[in-house]
Amino acid sequence: MSRHAQRRDKLRQLLKKRGPDAILVTDECNVTYLTGFTGDSSYLLLSHNEAIVVSDARYTTQLEEECPDLTRVIRSPSTGIMAAAAEAVISARVSHLAVESHHLSVANFQMLESELERVECLPTTGLVETLREIKDKQEVAEIRDAIALAERAFAVVRAGLRPEQTEKEVADALEYQIRLFGGRGTSFTPIVGVGDRSALPHYRPGELRVGDAGFVLIDWGAQGPLYVSDLTRVIVTGKAPARLKKIYQVVLEANRKAISVIRPGVLMGDVDRAARGVIEAHGYGKKFSHSLGHGIGLQVHEGPWLRSNVERPLKAGMVATVEPGIYLPGFGGVRIEDDVLVTRDGCQVLSTVPKEWSDCQIHALGAAAS
Ligand code: ZN
Ligand code: ZN
């Protein structure tokens, strides 16, 4: 049985427990996860004995190549995708249909209900997402590849940093290098924040120049064929203020503390609290303004969520970021982000960019330009 067929079987078991006799999967990443199809504008209708992809003629060949084992419904250009999906539901004789309420718009849900008078449509959330939290060996290998792409690109960009480069140019250089190494691109617009801009956790790279301050925070990731990575490092390009070194060491301690507690059975909230406890003990609790981490996979933000209010246990096969930070407005910020795999008896840090304070220093910045 293919890995996609195995995933569909697991989803069927979840459906059986909850009652619906089929699910209409409308989230593109979930469709990819369950079928191997990498196009868009296509839904999967999964019942206990059928798996039907509802798509259009642009994808006929791609569907035949990527998921030959599935039944295909190719709608005509004059039939909308909701109408085509509704027809498939009727012909599959479904009576209770689960829908992905976190993805389906209200308008589409109402359209579906009006087309399906005799079918009960049941809003569900997170069914496929819960399956996606646990990665199989091949998925972990693909995440490792995405990390390697990001790290190779970072090494090249770091080595070539020049004082006159703008934040945006550094972000563009990362994108370019990832593509040169064979990736599809960055997994999100990189955050490149020079000096006090590093205190903005979701800063958009702008026109500040690397030489405008003594340090820069870079948060970037790569997309391989499908799977992604997400890392953050700080680079010290000039004379570092003592305060930066101080908060760096607190964040590094928090990063290591969190990683040290990760193993199956530990509550996700406890991993967040482990890192937060270190930062609070040093008096910076209020300056760590986001949760500790998130899963990565087909998307750069997915479950598991390492947040203080998530009291679910970690399981082997989960991959999540660990990214504590301290942000001091007007001065600057530090975040150290690694990608971590939960193993059977602990965890493995998949990212390998060195993170000691001494590893952050660039001594020859601008040498190439002088
Ligand atoms: Zn990140
Ligand atoms: Zn992240």
Chain segment 168-216, per-residue pLDDT in tens:
999 999 999 999 999 999 999 999 999 999 999 889 999 999 999 999 9
Output the average pLDDT for the chain.
96
Judge contact between 185 and 146, C-beta under 8 A: no
Same domain, 276 and 185: yes
Integer Cα distance of 23 and 44 in angstroms = 8
Same domain, 103 and 154: no
Q: How far does the centroid of ligand 1 lie from the alpha carbon of residue 246, in Å?
A: 22
Residue ranges making up the domain that contains 61: 3-132
Q: Which tokens go with 348?
A: 């493995």
Q: What local confidence, expressed as pLDDT, does residue 239 receive?
A: 87
Which ligand is located closest to the Cα atom of residue 299? 2
Same domain, 123 and 232: no
Of 132, 163, 193, the one marking the end of a domain is: 132
Kindly report the CATH number assigned to the domain that includes residue 10. Answer: 3.40.350.10
Integer Cα distance of 115 and 237 in angstroms = 62
Q: Which tokens go with 12?
A: 């069927």
- Strand-pairing partners, residue 61, are none
Q: How far does the centroid of ligand 1 lie from the alpha carbon of residue 151, in Å?
A: 13
Q: How far does the centroid of ligand 2 lie from the alpha carbon of residue 41, in Å?
A: 27
At 348 the three-state DSSP class reads strand
Strands (E), the chain: 22-25, 43-47, 51-56, 71-75, 96-100, 120-124, 185-186, 191-194, 215-220, 222-223, 231-236, 293-295, 302-306, 319-322, 325-328, 332-335, 338-342, 347-349
| pLDDT digit string, tens, across residues 312-349 | 999 999 999 999 999 999 999 999 999 999 999 999 99
Same domain, 310 and 355: yes
Query: Within a 10 A sphere around the Cβ of 304, how many other Cβ atoms?
Result: 22
Kindly report the CATH number assigned to the domain that includes residue 260. Answer: 3.90.230.10
Nearest to 195, CA basis, from 243, 148, 229 = 243
| Residue 114: partners with Cβ closer than 8 Å, 6 or more residues away | none
Same domain, 153 and 20: no
| pLDDT digit string, tens, across residues 152-176 | 999 999 999 999 999 999 999 999 9
Q: How far does the centroid of ligand 2 lie from the alpha carbon of residue 143, in Å?
A: 14
Q: What local confidence, expressed as pLDDT, does residue 1 receive?
A: 85
Q: How far does the centroid of ligand 1 lie from the alpha carbon of residue 219, in Å?
A: 5
Same domain, 112 and 161: no
| Residue 78: partners with Cβ closer than 8 Å, 6 or more residues away | none
On whether the pTM is more than 0.85, the answer is yes
Q: How far does the centroid of ligand 2 lie from the alpha carbon of residue 339, in Å?
A: 9
Q: What local confidence, expressed as pLDDT, does residue 365 receive?
A: 74
- Residue 38 gets which letter from DSSP? -
Question: What total number of domains does the chain contain?
Answer: 2
For the chain, give the percent of residues with pLDDT over 70.
99
Same domain, 244 and 344: yes
Same domain, 89 and 218: no
Integer Cα distance of 39 and 42 in angstroms = 7
- Residue 62 gets which letter from DSSP? H
Same domain, 122 and 154: no
Q: How far does the centroid of ligand 1 lie from the alpha carbon of residue 199, in Å?
A: 14
Judge contact between 205 and 171, C-beta under 8 A: yes
Nearest to 37, CA basis, from 25, 49, 48, 47 = 25
Query: Within a 10 A sphere around the Cβ of 236, how many other Cβ atoms?
Result: 21
